[in-house]
Amino acid sequence: MPRQAVILAAGYGRGLEPITHTRHKALLPIPGGTLLSHTLSGLARAGVKRAVIVVHYLADQVIREAERVAAETGVDVEFAEQGEPKGTGHAALKGLERLRGGEALIINGDTYFSPEDLAKLATSGPWTVAAYEVDDPRRFGVLLVKGGVVRGVIEKPDEPSSKLVNAGAYVVRVDEFIKELERLQPSPRGEYEITDAVAAIAEKEGFTPLMVSEWSDVGRPWTYLDLVKRLLAGVAPAIKGEVSPNAELRDHVYVAEGAVVRHGTVIQGPAFIGPGADIGPNAFVRGPAMVLNGARVGFSVELKASVVMESAHAAHLSYIGDSVVCESANLGAATVLANLRFDDGEVTYLVKGRLEGTGRRKFGAVIGGHAKTGVNTSVLPGRWVGAYSWTHPGYVVNTPIPPCTYASPEGLRAVPDCGVDLSVWRWQRQS
C-alpha cells in the first residue's frame, strides 16, 4: 500500500484557455475547494503521508494551495520543479526521483476522483492503473485487457477495442518505474509520455485495472462545467448568509457565511453561493450554478448553468449562459454571453489554435481573469475573451480575443497592463 504520492501539476493547461492564462489547471474551483485541495486532502485521509508535487507553470499558486492543505491535514508535501514541461513521463520522473524506493501513487493534478476512489487507489498494490468506462473512448487512452490484466494502452484509437480507458492514476514500484521512464523516447508530438512507460510495464508484468466510480478529465471548459454540475448535486443545502425575505430559494441552494441574496432574487438550485458573494436585487440564478467568494451578480442579471469565479462582477442587466467568468473579470451593463447558435448546431471552441467540437448544443463563453467587457458587448457561443483583455462598447466577439488585448471595431491593440506571461500563450485565431 503506497504511503507516498506524486501529483503532476506542472503543465500549462492549454485546453482550458483562457481560464489558465491566470490560474493553474489544478486550481480549478469546485464546491468547497479546488481540484488540488480535493485530491491532496482525500489522499491524506486515505493514509498517504507524503506527497511530491511536480510544478512549473504558475508554480507559486500551486505551492500556496498545497501548503495550505498540508497545514490542515498534516500531510508532508514537497515540490519538484520540472523545468520546461516535456510531457507527463518527464514530470513523473522528476517527482519519483524525490522518493526513496517502495511504492507510490502517481496521479494527474487536473483530474477528479471521488473520495472513495482516492481511498481505493491509496490502498492498492503496485502495478495498478485506474480504469473508467466511457461511452466514446476515442478521445482517451484505451486499456487493452486480457484475462483481467492490462497488457497495453492505445492512445485515441479510431476503432477502440473496448470502452475501458486509462483514468490517469497509477500505483508503481518506484525504482522499477524510474528505470522505465529513463528509457522513454519522445512521442510523435515531441513529449515523453507516461503512458509509454505504463505500456512497457503492462507488456512485461501487467497492470491490474482498478475500476473507479467517478472520474473527470478536466481538460476543457465544458468538461469543467460538467464536473461542477455533478458535484453541486451532492452539496447539502444551507443558508448561512443573509437572504432577503423577498428572495426565493428553490430546491438545492447553499448560501455561505457572509454572502448576501437581495430582494426580488430567485435562485433555482442546485447552486453554491460562496462567502462574500452578492446576488441581486432581482437577479435570476438557474442552476447548476456556482458563484464564488466576493463575486457580484447584480440587478436583473440572469445566470444559467455557469461558474462565476472570485471577485468577478456582472453588476446589472447581463445574461450569462452555460459559461465561465474568471476571477476579477467585469461584465459591463447588458453584456450577453450567448449559449445557443442560430442554426441550433454544435458549438465549437478554439483549442490550441484549432476549432474543436464541444459535443454540445448549448455552451456559452469563457471570460478570462481580470478581463473587462464594454456595455452591450455580445459574446457568441463558444467564443472567449483572454485574461486582462477589454472589449469596446457594443462589440460582438465572434472570434476569440487574445490575452491583454483591447478589441474594438478599429481592430486589436495591446492593453497597458498585462498580468499574463505572453511567451507561453502563442496561438492562432481561426473563425
The H or E element that residue 208 is part of is strand 208-211
Q: Among 59-63, 82-86, 316-320, which is the least confidently predicted range? A: 82-86
Alpha helices (H) in 281-403, listed in sequence order: none
Q: What is the pLDDT of residue 340?
A: 97
Q: What is the pLDDT of residue 431?
A: 37
- Side chain identity at residue 395, one-letter code: Y
**Phi, psi angles (nearest 5°) of residue 328:** 60, 15
Torsion angle (degrees, nearest 10) of CA 17, 40, 289, 256: -130
- Rounded Cα distance, 146 and 379, in Å: 49
Nearest to 267 by CA among 309, 230, 223, 306: 306
Per-residue pLDDT for 66 more than 80?
Answer: yes
Q: How confident is the model at residue 133 (pLDDT cuts 50, 70, 90)?
A: very high
pTM: 0.95
Q: Answer whether 30's CB lies under 8 Å from 105's CB.
A: no
Per-residue pLDDT for 244 more than 90?
Answer: yes
Domains and CATH numbers, the chain: 4-217 (3.90.550.10), 231-414 (2.160.10.10)
The grid cell for 308 is 462565476
Annotate 257-300 with DSSP letters as a single string: TT-EE-TT-EEESSEEE-TT-EE-SS-EEESSEEE-TT-EEEET
Q: What is the pLDDT of residue 430?
A: 41
What is the percent of the chain with per-residue pLDDT over 70, rounded to a whole number? Answer: 99
pLDDT tens-place string over residues 197-211: 999 999 999 999 999
- Rounded Cα distance, 421 and 431, in Å: 24
